């Protein structure tokens, strides 16, 4: 009976892996590597790569600068309405991307909730590169903030209390104690947010459109090239797959690297030569 159950487990795992791997492998096997490289050199692919890198990096900076202190507050303070605040952080994770795009357009569009105020300030956000950044922050930011909350909650509170007892202020304790101890989780959350930002599609096309060289990201270029040049669409898709795979690998390697660096001094201290 136990052997039959083991066979079922292995069969289910093999089926799941095959189903997940075949579509990804097909992207690279459908055309030759040379054709993929040639397609990546097309103006559409180059423009989309520039727009994606520029907007995703800016969005990532905003997510880290705003999301890190916000996550620390939500992780270390207990206040009325905290559960509501955490729920609002998590809400974009389950919203359909099209709904996120409509919401951003209704808020920041020319005729949106804040449209008159922005127009009075001479700002037009919708269908600009700023709109791409806002769309990425909205859909990818919660991935980082939620992971960062868990990372800060896992920090040993006695170490934080010791820092405060020794005279360090809350800001110094945050920078010198909490951040280093939570860095593994923060790095994983940042990588996940970056990967989500690279693949963002729905909110971006609704709020920023798909203007080549202006707002067209790699994901939008794949959609546009699907009926125009399938090889180019495959090449851009392969680029996104490779970038996502590297980011996921980084998420898994960072904790192992931190663990090895933490254990190295201990191992050295126990060596006979020490």
The number of CA neighbours under 13 Å toward the Cβ of 121 is 9
Distances (CA, A) of 249 to 12, 39, 255: 24, 26, 11
- Written out in words, the top-level CATH class of the domain with range 32-257 is mainly alpha
pTM: 0.85
In this predicted model, what pLDDT tens digit does every residue of 234-256 receive, in sequence order? 888 888 888 888 887 877 776 55
pLDDT of 15 over the 80 cut: yes
In this predicted model, what pLDDT tens digit does every residue of 125-140 receive, in sequence order? 999 999 999 999 999 9
In this predicted model, what pLDDT tens digit does every residue of 86-115 receive, in sequence order? 999 999 999 999 999 999 999 999 888 998
Angle at 248 between CA 68 and CA 23, to 5 degrees: 135
CA distance 43 to 219: 15
Tell me what pLDDT residue 159 has: 86
Distances (CA, A) of 265 to 184, 200, 260, 271: 19, 42, 9, 10
**Burial class of residue 247 in the structure, from the number of CB atoms within 10 Å of its CB (0-12 exposed, 13-18 middle, 19+ buried):** middle
The number of CA neighbours under 13 Å toward the Cβ of 131 is 32
Range with the largest mean pLDDT of 59-68, 76-85, 160-169, 176-185: 59-68
Label residue 258 by pLDDT band (50, 70, 90): low
Mean of all residue pLDDT scores within the chain? 86
CA 29 to chain CA centroid, nearest Å: 27
């Amino acid at each position: 009976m136990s052997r039959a159950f083991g066979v079922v487990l292995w069969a289910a795992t093999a089926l799941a892996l095959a189903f997940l791997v075949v579509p990804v492998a097909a992207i690279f096997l459908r055309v030759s590597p040379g054709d993929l490289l040639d397609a990546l050199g097309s103006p559409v692919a180059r423009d989309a790569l520039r727009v994606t890198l520029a907007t995703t990096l800016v969005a990532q900076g905003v997510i880290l600068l705003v999301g890190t202190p916000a996550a620390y507050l939500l992780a270390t303070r207990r206040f009325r309405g905290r559960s509501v605040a955490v729920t609002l952080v998590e809400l974009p994770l389950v919203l359909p991307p099209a709904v996120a795009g409509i919401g951003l357009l209704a808020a920041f569009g020319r005729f949106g909730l804040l449209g008159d105020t922005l127009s009075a300030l001479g700002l037009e956000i919708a269908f600009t590169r700023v709109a791409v950044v806002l769309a990425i922050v909205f859909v990818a930011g919660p991935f980082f903030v939620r992971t960062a909350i868990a990372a800060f909650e896992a920090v040993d509170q006695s170490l934080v209390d010791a820092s405060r007892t020794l005279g360090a202020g809350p800001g110094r304790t945050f920078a010198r104690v909490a951040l280093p101890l939570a860095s593994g989780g923060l790095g994983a959350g940042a990588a996940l947010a970056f990967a989500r930002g690279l693949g963002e599609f729905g909110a971006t096309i609704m709020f920023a459109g798909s203007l080549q060289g202006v707002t067209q990201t790699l994901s939008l270029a794949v959609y546009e090239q699907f009926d125009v040049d399938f090889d180019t669409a495959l090449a851009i898709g392969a680029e996104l797959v490779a970038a996502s795979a590297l980011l996921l690998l980084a998420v898994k390697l960072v904790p192992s690297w931190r663990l090895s660096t933490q254990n190295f001094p201990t191992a050295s201290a126990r060596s006979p030569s020490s």
